Structure 1
């Protein structure tokens, strides 16, 4: 493995690396119904991998911790990381396990539905994370997702907390099964509307509903800070020190082509701005992350829809 102790990473991501197979349809089929698709696309994905690549595309010094299958897809995934100058020294090929695959349907409105076969992601262990402790300890921001076993996530968050490193837990997928201690370990828990409803048991249908869910995550789940993304309505942020003071950051209104990966684009961008522009107020970091994510819904695909630094307004990086 490459020696990384002397490298100061901006962002390190622990999570899933998944190969996406995306089918485009005019509308989602009903149960038992077959509909004709309008297009097919394949590419690299996974929430953790997407967030790492999104950060790297913005110019962040980024590393990824995870597993892929010992197969052609796994090796191609590692090469894709390297293509974006992302440190993949702690990505392990896993004999006997397939690389994770996502089956994604995207309808005309840009909305999507996703089924994931987790494969090698399920083999990420506490030991893997401990072996990568030097990478985490050499970073400014740690980003984790629930695509890998929760024991591994917990260990990574503990390492970050011990060193005073900012940590962001994207509580997806399925936060309803998340142990209560994982809510309070990270600096920030990030969820979308669906995930907020799953985590709190509250309905989240309006912005006011989302604010109530965010306050519940702070007060009832013990989160230190919460970001709740709202798609076209931007995002919310709150901190346990002022649970009633929920900040709403709006974003530009656009006509989306494909929303797949937009949340990951946001999370990667937020991690980048937190690591590389820590002098910015929280509201400004969130606003810039929203601007980056909004660009991603104007193109097809997942990582392929993420903008590089030179494709974005220069003012975002001042």
Structure 2
């Protein structure tokens, strides 16, 4: 079954430095790169590289960044016929500082990404109704995301919402979400509580379940992910690795999760696979450049299985 990703396409401007500057401070960096990204594009390519049939819905500007992003998506075998061109807005950009530990700080200027409105998405009802699963994030217009969720819900199509960048969401939107995938910070903002432990993450997830979400998967970095739904709470262990660059780690997880679910895997199986994809992504620099292919993930999982203690 196909995956429809509705989301952002950005050109990332990545600076590497030992640490992020303080207010009013100037530092020398170690490197600079232009890297295609945007949460929507990252998630689409993450799924496509694993073998999924992916269609992207989004918007870019009529500029060099937009042309470059379209070309890259086509090279990655993502269907681009529903990526439209803005007549007035530039392609979205993201300014990213990656520090010596691999952590990142990001400022996004969304540009054309937020130009798509509910009426634009409603015109694509046949595309959404034909999907196996719909994947969204929050770098686009929130009302448009809500309209897409309602359309998918009406046709019985499951929706993955990656609530990033974090912001308060209405109960109406959450009611139409099948899988919500916040990290710890996002879970805390959505639930209105501090999330500092796995127990806190479960409490936050249950608050979101009470608002109508069917499954909450809180990503916990190297500690894996916590699944909370009507069946209970399950902690799926992660794969500790040395992080080089955490840009697109969450996006790789969501793309992999979508692909596994369309393949008929259980939620626990899908999350374990997505944890492995995320672990591989943080071991490389860049956004799309860091996303692994299926054979790499399969080898990683075989190696991990061989390293686990065997029962006698």
Query: Which residue does 2:197 correspond to in 1?
Result: 206
Higher mean C-alpha displacement, 247-256 vs 205-214: 205-214
TM-score w.r.t. structure 2 length?
0.93
- Indicate whether 1:228 and 2:218 are aligned: yes
Matches for 1:238-253 after TM superposition, within 5 Å: 238-239=228-229, 241-242=230-231, 245-253=232-240
The answer on whether the counterparts of 1:196 and 1:228 sit within 8 Å (CA) in structure 2 is: yes
User: Would you say 1:106 and 2:98 are equivalent positions?
Assistant: yes
Aligned to 1:290: 275
Structure 1: state its 5+ residue gaps. 1-8
Q: How does 1:146-185 map to 2 (within 5 A)?
A: 146-176=138-168, 178-185=169-176
Question: For residues 233 and 15 of structure 2, what CA distance do their matches in structure 1 show?
Answer: 37
- Decide whether the 8 Å contact of 1:110 with 1:256 is kept in 2: yes
Match runs of 1:256-267 below 5 Å: 256-267=243-254
Instruction: Name 1:5's counterpart in structure 2.
Output: none
Q: CA deviation at 1:198?
A: 1.0
Distance of 1:249 and 1:203 partners within structure 2: 22
Per-residue deviation, residues 172-223 of structure 1 (Å, max 9, x unmatched): 11322x222111111111111111111111111122221211122112x332
8 Å Cα contact 2:47-2:258 kept in structure 1: yes
Any residues of structure 2 matched to 1:270-285 within 5 Å, and which? 270-276=257-263, 278=264, 280-285=265-270
1:74-98 deviations in Å (ceiling 9; x for gaps): 1111111110111110101101101
1:3 — aligned with what?
Answer: none
Of 19, 28, 42, which aligns to 2:34?
A: 42
How many residue pairs were aligned? 302
TM-superposed CA distance for 1:127, in Å, is 2.2
Q: Distance in 1 between matches of 2:52 and 2:38?
A: 19
DSSP-derived class of the 1:258 partner: coil
Which whole-Å CA distance do the structure 1 matches of 2:201 and 2:86 have between them?
40
Structure 2 SS opposite 1:191? coil
CA apart distance, 1:311: 2.6
User: Aligned in 2, Cα 1:26/1:85: closer, same or farther, shift over 3 Å?
Assistant: same
1:52 aligns with 2:44: yes
CA contact (8 A) 1:65 1:132 kept: no
Distance in 1 of aligned mates of 2:301 and 2:101: 28
Matches within 5 A, 1:179-198: 179-198=170-189
Deviations 1:15-67 (A, max 9, x none): 11111011111112111111111111211111111101100111100000011
Structure 1 stretches of 4+ with a deviation exceeding 6 A read none
Q: Which moved more, 1:14-23 or 1:307-316?
A: 307-316
Q: Which blocks of at least 5 consecutive residues in structure 2 are unaligned? A: 303-312
Distance 1:200 1:124 in 2: 28
Partners of 1:168 and 1:64 in 2: how far apart? 14
Q: 2:288 aligns with which of 290, 300, 303?
A: 303
Q: CA deviation at 1:314?
A: 5.6
